[in-house]
Amino acid sequence: MKRVLFVGTASMNCGTDAYGNALTTPLETQEGKLQAKYDSLLKGHPDGIFEITVTGRITSANPACERITGHSSDSLKTMDLTDVFNRMEWHRHPSANMYADDCVYGEGLITHSSGHSVYVQLKRVPIELDNRVIGSHVIARDTTDEQLTKHELEYTKEQIKTIFDTLDVALWAQIWPSKTVIQVSPGSEKIWGIPVERILRDPSSCYENIHPDDVESVREQMNRVHDGIQFIDDYRVIHPNGEVRWIHDRVIPIRGSDGDLKRLIGLAVDITEQKRAEEERIRTRGMLERSEKLHVLGQLAAGIAHEIRNPLTSLMGFVQLIQSGRAGMDDYFDIMASELQRMNTIVGEFLVLSKPHSESMRIHDLKHIIETTLAFLKGEAIMNNTVIQTNFSILPPIVCDESQMKQVFINIIRNALDAMPTGGTITVQTEQTGSNEVTVCVADEGCGIPEDSIAMIGEPFFTTKEDGTGLGMMVTQQIVRSHGGRIEIRSRVDKGTTVSIVLPVSSSS
């Protein structure tokens, strides 16, 4: 189909008036208006519009042509179209003659006058006059931004495909409810041990190799995915060669705007090495814990043997003297009883550790426990010329074994009394330190503890007292830890020591 476009008007007049001026016909007025509209269209159109002869010579070019090519309108009028568009690929032309009378489309690169390349799309439309082609309009559109975006998208798509094809993970997408798998990564075969082609044909096949112990769990979770609930799980698969591998699998349901399930996106990763490393860490940690327990047990056994051996040696000596029948042995009975009491004390400290206390855990008022303990120790404090001051704040209740908690305060306050043989002041203060903790501070004015010894307090048989066993603080720390608390010690030599017992409050408070 041929198209006729307005290309200009011929000068016509119908004579002159009385003054010799040319007369204008209504047709000429109408053609003048059309020409003005045509010129306005060319000037404001964003695409370049060239007018060329049948031989390809450019006869006019609108301002957009100057922007696209970088050449002025006057310069373009000295060129042929092929001088400007010399790197074009033309389509849909019936012959080698691009100036034939059918519409022709082209696209390609041109070189801007400044040197850079510009992507353009061309469309040539024949101009007919009196049923004869007298030239063409060539419309040029700058598509540089579109082409660059297209190339960037193609590059990104290629990069994603490269990553998709090389990663050792299973990536897949399934349309729902048809259950058609539209994409499966090559790494899927390495993950599940099943060829990609088979997974594409039968999506359920990728779960055929799941370990029998994990099948029910995976099946149950996959059924929930169909209801729109995300699936995340670790399970085992058995490859055709019999190798068992651990898989971390994640399936995400995608819903449409109508709320219906549209597709599933899955990602599965082999985590066998991580699982093996985790198992090795657990095994190593267990070995270290057993080794540490044996080490502590050895230390305890050596300490007990040493502590009990000394009074036993004394007792054996006294027994031999009694057996010899010597007179005046009555004086040694008190010493023997003292040594036996010492052994009984050592054994008693260990019995405290071995007693179960879970059934004795109750909600208690910490202030009441401390006041009861201080009343019990009041006599010892008076005999030691020591004053015990208290500063109690309002505290929430705690969950504890009352008898064991009393033992903690007895041990710590007695240590404070022993640190001040000539008397002094002991301050017992309580406060709530945070929303979930309470702290009891016992401060004395005693001899203090060397800094390098503080870290060793609580170790079996370590003591700074001449007649101490070191078991008291070990028992104390064990009791506090079993209650979810901790002990903090601050001390300065010849200035005194502050022992802070930090305990959790009752959850019901």
Encode the chain (509 residues) as per-residue pLDDT tens digits.
Answer: 444 444 443 444 445 555 455 555 565 677 777 778 878 888 889 999 999 998 889 999 999 999 999 999 999 999 998 888 876 665 544 333 444 445 567 788 888 999 888 999 888 888 888 888 888 899 999 998 888 888 888 887 788 777 777 778 888 888 888 888 888 888 888 888 888 888 888 877 877 889 999 988 888 888 888 777 888 899 999 998 999 999 999 999 888 888 888 888 889 999 999 999 988 888 888 787 777 766 666 666 666 665 676 667 767 777 777 777 666 666 667 767 777 776 776 666 666 555 545 557 888 999 999 998 898 888 888 888 999 999 999 889 999 988 889 889 988 998 899 899 999 999 999 999 877 899 999 999 998 988 888 887 877 666 666 666 667 788 888 889 888 999 999 999 889 999 999 999 876 65
Q: Which domains does the chain have, with CATH numbers?
A: 26-148 (3.30.450.20), 167-270 (3.30.450.20), 280-351 (1.10.287), 357-504 (3.30.565.10)
Residue 296: in which H helix or E strand, if any? helix 272-323
Are 491 and 497 within 8 A, CB to CB?
A: yes
Are 52 and 64 within 8 A, CB to CB?
A: no
The C-alpha angle 90, 86, 52, rounded to 5 degrees, equals 80
- Please report, to the nearest 10 degrees, the dihedral formed by the alpha carbons of residues 333, 334, 339, 343 taken in order: 100
Tokens of 475: 């028992």
Alpha-carbon distance of 232 to 218, in angstroms, equals 9
- Whole-angstrom CA distances from 428 to 73, 274, 308, 370 are 100, 51, 35, 9
Q: What's the pTM value of the predicted model, to 2 decimals?
A: 0.40
Alpha-carbon distance of 307 to 317, in angstroms, equals 17
Of 482, 169, 244, the residue nearest 354 (C-alpha): 482
Alpha-carbon distance of 70 to 60, in angstroms, equals 15
Checking DSSP bridges between strand 496-504 and strand 486-492, what pairing results, if any? antiparallel
* pLDDT score of 294: 66
* pLDDT score of 4: 42
Are 138 and 52 within 8 A, CB to CB?
A: yes
Of 451, 438, 460, the residue nearest 489 (C-alpha): 451
* pLDDT score of 98: 47
Q: In what order do the strands lie in the sheet with 180-184?
A: 180-184, 169-175, 261-270, 244-255, 231-238
Look up residue 80 and give its DSSP letter.
Answer: B
Alpha-carbon distance of 47 to 28, in angstroms, equals 29
Alpha-carbon distance of 189 to 187, in angstroms, equals 5
The C-alpha angle 296, 298, 303, rounded to 5 degrees, equals 95
Cα 338 to chain centroid distance, Å, stands at: 64
If one counts every other C-beta atom within 10 angstroms of the C-beta of residue 284, the result is 10
The C-alpha angle 183, 189, 193, rounded to 5 degrees, equals 140
Residue 501: in which H helix or E strand, if any? strand 496-504
Are 445 and 499 within 8 A, CB to CB?
A: no
Alpha-carbon distance of 509 to 501, in angstroms, equals 19
Tokens of 49: 């519009």
| Location of structure tokens 């975006």 | 149
